[in-house]
């Protein structure tokens, strides 16, 4: 309804009769918890909660609107009329009351008279459910009676050291992963759970990362402009349906992460902006309260009620929905006051710096509380700068995240692989540079949705060369991502080499799997995921330097890279070699760590993946020929644009000296 200016009037006797007064919100501890910014459980008392009070069934409502002159609940139970159900005010700025006869499923909003006498209607900031967009009303929901069946998973999660386990994250936009064939716009949460479980088991993905599922009004935002920080989007079903979705994935041994957006929120009239006619959740000054890139409001992290709101939202998803972790969006925009702003467009902190001290403290508090209360969850920062200690504990001076997206790796890798191979020899350090900083954070290497939108094309279309080379380059990139230290993430559709840029209004082009090259790419990603999981050397020491050794990172003339990966107890050693050109390399010599037989255990050029089956006939014996600073070396064949992995099988019989390899560089290092 449009805002209307009318004269304010006191509560009438008939209106008051619909609200049962109580001292619930007059309790000093409640008001203190809200205003002190230390309460992570505000969703237990704020919002709409079905209950029985003095023998009558109804719903408790409470909303923070400190500058309002009056607040009413309007809904389908009172013809959306302001004045039917007034709420009571408290010193903390919270309006509250119990309305008999209102039960789960009721649609409602808050009708707020501002201090200027204008009426505005707002959705409930703490609502557990909302109408399907473009409708904007909140829905009363009861989350208390769901029976979880994922106890085995939750116990496993608490006891697991995820840093030493294989993590292969599959990023999914639920609305466009698959679309129904019966003219419905979306699948339900139940349908999606069944299909995703089958696909992820088949492909060897360990973690499902959902793009934002907190309720959002505009499909084109992909969920990154949320209005419901406590409501899973109703596009796919009810809150109970989403609980069943998570429960099913957990029982299938799949971890679920969700995108969470505490950096900004949209200006939609029914949302958080100017909630009671004044700036509550955002800063009043647009130099701190408005984001010029996204035309969104920025949270006021220095306001305790806002901190309670966001801390409660973060906890809510882990508590009420058993979510296994949060990928926190746009952390860089939170850390810096001058993010995407010119001189004079931002306000320095009290010490004259550009750091947003209040946002930094909020992130530390969030990570401390979540990791303390929910052992085994992951918090992951999308942070694109060189901010130190993002994934280091708060007690050690860090922000406290479990891991950080390696945006530098993503940019360098795509820049290198987009080049025609003839020019790659001039940019050898673009890939080798990553290992200079690889262990400064716990890194996840993302090939996310951001890399296949806004005119960038799909990953396949970004690769140079003819069709064969494009597919070989893409296999090479996935292989490189999976074999250097760190955990991995790819976006849906990449596993089948979708040739078109992602479109949120469509679905992944699954019929492509009828074509051999696309089916070969799917087989390759499947085998790569399962290979990493089966080999401790590729996941046990992703975040410590003792699991990695360079063999050669400087052979720019041949565009070849080689390194070793080791398991934690050194019982497994793998040698990984990448040929970044479409030229096969025969009799290529590299130094190896020990005497033995080097069995070829993985080759991206295998025929089943769409390659030419160029390889090493099962493996090669090491020779006592010094190379790359090592006493032993092997002479191998490298397929064009390929990843080749050898597993060391130590020899018990000393070998006699042999002649050097016919070709291949020998490092003087």
Residues classed as catalytic:
329, 382
DSSP H helices, 162-303, are 174-177, 189-203, 239-251, 286-289
Q: Residue 560, Cβ neighbours under 10 Å: how many?
A: 23
> Kindly report the CA angle at 519 between 480 and 583, in degrees rounded to 5?
45
> Which tokens belong to 638?
């490298």
Q: Tokens 């209005």 label which residue? A: 227
CA–CA dist 586, 601 (Å, integer)? 18
Structure tokens at 22: 């109580």
If one counts every other C-beta atom within 10 angstroms of the C-beta of residue 369, the result is: 17
Best CA proximity match to 232, nearest among 262, 252, 203, 258: 258
- Hunting for tokens 């042999």 — which residue is that? 658
Say how far apart CA 390 and CA 381 lie, in whole Å.
Answer: 8
CA distance 271 to 70: 18
Q: In this structure, what token pair is assigned to residue 67?
A: 């500058």
Alpha carbon of 114 to those of 65, 70, 279, 631: distances in Å? 9, 7, 12, 80
The DSSP string of 555-572 is ETTTTEEEEEEE-TTSS-
* CA-wise closest residue to 105 among 82, 77, 74: 77
The Cα–Cα gap between 227 and 212 comes to: 11
124 with 288: CB under 8 angstroms? no
Kindly report the number of other CB atoms within 10 A of residue 374's CB atom: 20
Strand, coil or helix: 114: coil
Cα distances (angstroms) measured from residue 345 to each of 216, 295, 340, 363, 578? 29, 15, 9, 24, 47
CA 271, 275, 278, 283: dihedral to nearest 10 degrees? -60
Considering only CA atoms, which of 331, 206, 204, 363 is closest in space to residue 261? 331
Q: Whole-angstrom Cα distance, residue 187 to residue 271?
A: 26
Residue 620 bridge partners (DSSP): 598
Give backbone dihedrals phi and psi of 91, rounded to 5 degrees, phi first. Answer: -65, -20
- Residues recorded for the chain: 669
How far apart are alpha carbons 608 and 96 in whole angstroms?
65
Q: Are 272 and 265 in contact (CB under 8 A)?
A: yes
Six-digit token string for 7: 């004269």
From the list 633, 644, 649, the residue with the least C-alpha distance to 572 is 649
């Amino acid at each position: 309804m449009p805002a209307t200016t009318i004269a304010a009037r006191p509560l009438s006797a008939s209106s008051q009769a619909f609200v049962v007064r109580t001292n619930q919100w007059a309790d000093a501890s409640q008001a203190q918890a809200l205003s002190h910014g230390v309460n992570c459980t505000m969703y237990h008392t704020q919002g709409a909660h079905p209950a029985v009070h003095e023998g009558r069934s109804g719903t408790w409502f409470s909303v923070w609107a400190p500058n309002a002159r009056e607040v009413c609940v309007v809904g389908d139970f009172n013809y959306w009329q302001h004045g039917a159900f007034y709420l009571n005010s408290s010193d903390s700025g919270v309006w509250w009351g119990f309305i008999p006869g209102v039960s789960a499923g009721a649609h409602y909003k808050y009708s707020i008279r501002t201090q200027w006498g204008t009426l505005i209607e707002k959705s409930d900031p703490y609502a557990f459910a909302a109408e399907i967009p473009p409708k904007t009303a909140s829905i009363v929901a009861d989350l208390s009676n769901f029976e979880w069946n994922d106890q085995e998973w939750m116990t496993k999660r608490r006891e697991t050291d995820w840093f030493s386990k294989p993590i292969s994250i599959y990023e999914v936009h639920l609305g466009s992963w698959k679309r129904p064939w019966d003219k419905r716009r979306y699948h339900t949460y139940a349908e999606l759970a069944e299909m995703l479980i089958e696909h992820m088991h088949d492909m060897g993905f360990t973690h499902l990362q959902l793009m934002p599922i907190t309720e959002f009004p505009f499909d084109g935002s992909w969920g990154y402009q949320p209005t419901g920080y406590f409501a899973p989007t109703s596009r796919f079903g009810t809150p109970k349906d989403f609980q069943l979705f998570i429960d099913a994935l957990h029982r299938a041994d799949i971890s679920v992460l969700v995108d969470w957006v505490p950096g900004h929120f949209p200006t939609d009239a029914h949302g958080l902006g100017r909630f009671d006619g004044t700036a509550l959740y955002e800063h009043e000054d647009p130099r701190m309260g408005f984001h010029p890139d996204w035309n969104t409001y920025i949270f006021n992290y220095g306001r305790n009620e806002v901190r309670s709101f966001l801390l409660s939202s973060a906890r809510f998803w882990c508590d009420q929905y058993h979510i296994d972790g949060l990928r926190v969006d746009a952390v860089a925009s939170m850390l810096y006051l001058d993010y995407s702003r010119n001189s004079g467009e931002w306000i320095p902190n009290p010490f004259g710096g550009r750091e947003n001290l209040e946002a930094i403290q909020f992130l530390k508090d969030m990570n401390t509380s979540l990791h303390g209360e929910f052992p085994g969850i992951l918090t992951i920062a999308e942070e694109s700068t060189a901010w130190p200690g993002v994934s280091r504990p708060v007690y050690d001076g860090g922000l406290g995240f479990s891991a950080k997206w390696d945006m530098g790796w993503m940019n360098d890798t795509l820049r290198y692989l987009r080049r025609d191979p003839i020019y790659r020899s001039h940019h050898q350090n673009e890939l080798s540079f990553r290992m200079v900083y690889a262990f400064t954070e716990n890194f996840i290497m993302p090939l996310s949705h951001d890399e296949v939108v806004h005119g960038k094309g799909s990953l396949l279309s970004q690769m140079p060369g003819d069709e064969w080379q494009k597919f070989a380059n893409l296999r090479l990139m996935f292989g490189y991502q999976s074999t250097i230290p760190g955990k991995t993430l790819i976006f849906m559709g990449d596993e089948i080499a979708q040739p078109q840029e992602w479109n949120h209004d469509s679905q992944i082009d699954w019929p492509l799997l009828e074509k051999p090259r696309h089916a070969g790419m799917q087989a390759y990603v499947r085998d790569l995921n399962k290979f990493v999981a089966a080999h401790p050397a590729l996941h046990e020491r992703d975040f410590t330097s003792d699991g990695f050794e360079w063999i050669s990172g400087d052979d720019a003339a041949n565009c070849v890279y080689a390194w070793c990966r080791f398991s934690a107890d050194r019982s497994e050693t793998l040698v990984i070699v990448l040929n970044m050109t479409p030229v096969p390399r025969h009799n290529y010599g590299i130094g190896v760590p020990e005497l033995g037989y080097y069995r070829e255990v993985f080759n991206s050029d295998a025929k089943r993946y769409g390659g030419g089956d160029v390889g090493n006939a099962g493996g090669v014996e090491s020779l006592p020929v010094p190379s790359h600073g090592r006493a032993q070396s092997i002479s191998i064949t490298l397929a064009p644009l390929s990843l080749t992995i050898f597993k060391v099988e130590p020899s018990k019989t000393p070998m006699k000296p042999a002649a050097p390899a016919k070709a291949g560089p020998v490092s003087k290092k």
